[in-house]
């Protein structure tokens, strides 16, 4: 199943991108992930900026908790309302900023993983329109999800006859809210992980991207169901481990800043003024540490989604080169067996070739019957014995000749002695 096999391939692709460590690439990817994840521990699950707990917002006030206004209480100053309104507006503006930039960074992130190169400004300019459309889609889905729960909750509060009826209706509404929230999370995940890459690949809008993705999703629904289950389980485990790591890293980062702040506070009023930039710097460093830890996790899950998308539809493969490289590495490591099978074929070919050579040897087509590598050619024991016998025979002949010569010499000596005796008168 591709949804299972791609888990290992995603590790290989992520490793090829992030190792060896290139500090500048890690830093830029961490900045991108900082906006993509919404500065949290979501691990790639888009956060819901629009839905709040309707049971808390629209719950009826307790009559006992609403006493009459105390005439002795001092009215709140006008500056309080102005400050509160300013803070609310600031929060809304910050949310809009991070939501829009986060939508644009979705495409920057995918393009960076696709090209193995991080170009934040260039990719942002190229995907500005897509990012705005993605932000609009997210905002619309969030508002619709909020309306699905908020409208019935308001109707319950306005039409309920008593507290018990309200509580019973809200319990039923909470169950509906769980289903709506689940659908919302799935839609947001599929939009970020699959539809956004299709928008980037084929220059489509959000709805057009969903229409393009829908046949692939319905035709391979089991693959994507397994994908969802595996992602949720893995993210639960990984985020727990990452949470401990982040906590430990933040403690280490906070130690020098806390010491510096204590020293600044001891300086008096000027110290409080100097502490403001120190606090801001500490917050930025903390966010960067969180992003650096989250970046490999978010990269892995995005690669996992891209691999599954390409496996279920080859026309939507954004990373064919990374996929091929990762699976070539798997084959060289012997994980899938093609290399070992190739080696067996190689040896079988060698054996068949040797058999053919043996057949040709038997037929005498190429080689003669004598085998130069026969053991008899190397067994010189018989030769040594024959040579010893010949040598012994030669020595026997030589001994016979020598004895014959000696006998002849003795005979000659006897004849010479007789001659000498005759001449001497003997």
Task: Identify the burial level of 59 via C-beta atoms within 10 angstroms of its C-beta, where 0-12 means exposed, 13-18 middle and 19 or more buried.
Answer: middle
Which DSSP letter does residue 60 get? P
pLDDT in tens, 391-412: 444 444 444 444 444 444 444 4
> How confident is the model at residue 377, as a pLDDT?
40
Which DSSP letter does residue 88 get? H
Q: What percent of the chain has pLDDT over 90?
A: 56
Dihedral sign from CA coordinates of 88, 91, 96, 99 = negative
> How confident is the model at residue 79, as a pLDDT?
78
Q: What percent of the chain has pLDDT over 70?
A: 68
> How confident is the model at residue 236, as a pLDDT?
96
pLDDT in tens, 22-69: 999 999 999 999 999 875 433 344 444 443 344 333 444 444 444 444
> How confident is the model at residue 381, as a pLDDT?
43
Q: How many CB atoms lie within 10 A of CB 330?
A: 18
**pLDDT, block means (10 residues), the chain with 426 residues:** 94 95 95 83 41 40 45 65 90 94 96 95 96 97 93 82 76 89 96 97 96 97 97 96 96 95 90 92 95 96 97 96 87 51 38 45 43 41 46 47 47 45 38
Report d(CA 420, CA 425) in Å as an integer: 9
* Residues in Cβ contact with 308 at an 8 Å cutoff, skipping those fewer than 6 apart: 2, 3, 6, 223, 224, 227
> How confident is the model at residue 269, as a pLDDT?
87
> How confident is the model at residue 276, as a pLDDT?
92
> How confident is the model at residue 308, as a pLDDT?
97
- Extents of the domains making up the chain: 4-42+79-330
């Amino acid at each position: 199943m591709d949804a299972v096999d791609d888990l290992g391939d995603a590790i290989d692709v992520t490793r090829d991108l992030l190792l060896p460590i290139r500090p500048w690439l890690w830093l830029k990817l961490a900045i991108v992930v900082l906006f993509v994840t919404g500065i949290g521990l979501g691990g790639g699950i888009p956060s819901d900026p629009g839905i709040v707990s309707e049971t808390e917002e629209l719950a009826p006030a307790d009559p006992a908790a609403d006493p009459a206004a105390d005439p002795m209480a001092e009215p709140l100053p006008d500056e309080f309302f102005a400050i509160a309104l300013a803070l609310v507006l600031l929060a809304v503006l910050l949310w809009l900023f991070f939501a829009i930039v986060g939508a644009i960074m979705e495409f920057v992130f995918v393009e960076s993983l696709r090209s193995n190169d991080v170009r934040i400004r260039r990719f942002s300019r190229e995907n500005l329109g897509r990012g705005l459309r993605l932000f609009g889609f997210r905002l619309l889905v969030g508002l619709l999800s909020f309306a699905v729960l908020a409208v019935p909750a308001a109707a319950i509060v306005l039409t309920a006859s008593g507290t018990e009826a309200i509580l019973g209706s809200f319990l039923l509404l909470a169950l509906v809210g769980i289903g709506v929230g689940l659908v919302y999370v799935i839609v947001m995940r599929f939009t970020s992980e699959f539809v956004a890459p299709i928008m980037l690949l084929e220059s489509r809008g959000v709805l057009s991207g969903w229409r393009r993705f829908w046949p692939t999703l319905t035709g391979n629904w089991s693959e994507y169901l397994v994908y969802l289950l595996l992602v949720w389980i893995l993210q639960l485990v990984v985020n727990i481990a990452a949470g401990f790591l982040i906590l430990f890293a933040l403690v280490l980062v906070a130690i020098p800043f806390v010491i510096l702040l204590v020293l600044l506070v001891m300086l008096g009023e000027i110290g409080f003024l100097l502490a403001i930039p120190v606090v801001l710097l500490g917050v930025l460093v903390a966010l960067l540490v969180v992003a650096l830890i989250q970046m490999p996790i978010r990269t892995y899950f995005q690669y996992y989604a891209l691999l599954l998308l390409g496996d279920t539809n080859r026309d939507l493969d954004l990373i064919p080169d990374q996929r091929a490289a990762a699976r070539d590495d798997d084959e060289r490591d012997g994980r899938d067996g093609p290399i070992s099978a190739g080696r067996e074929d190689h040896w079988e070919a060698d054996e068949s070739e040797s058999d053919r050579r043996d057949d040709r040897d038997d037929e005498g087509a190429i080689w003669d019957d004598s085998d130069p590598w026969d053991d008899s050619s190397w067994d010189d024991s018989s030769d040594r014995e024959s040579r010893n016998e010949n040598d012994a025979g030669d020595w026997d002949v030589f001994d016979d000749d020598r004895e014959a010569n000696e006998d002849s010499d003795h005979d000659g000596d006897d004849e010479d002695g007789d001659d000498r005796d005759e001449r001497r008168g003997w």
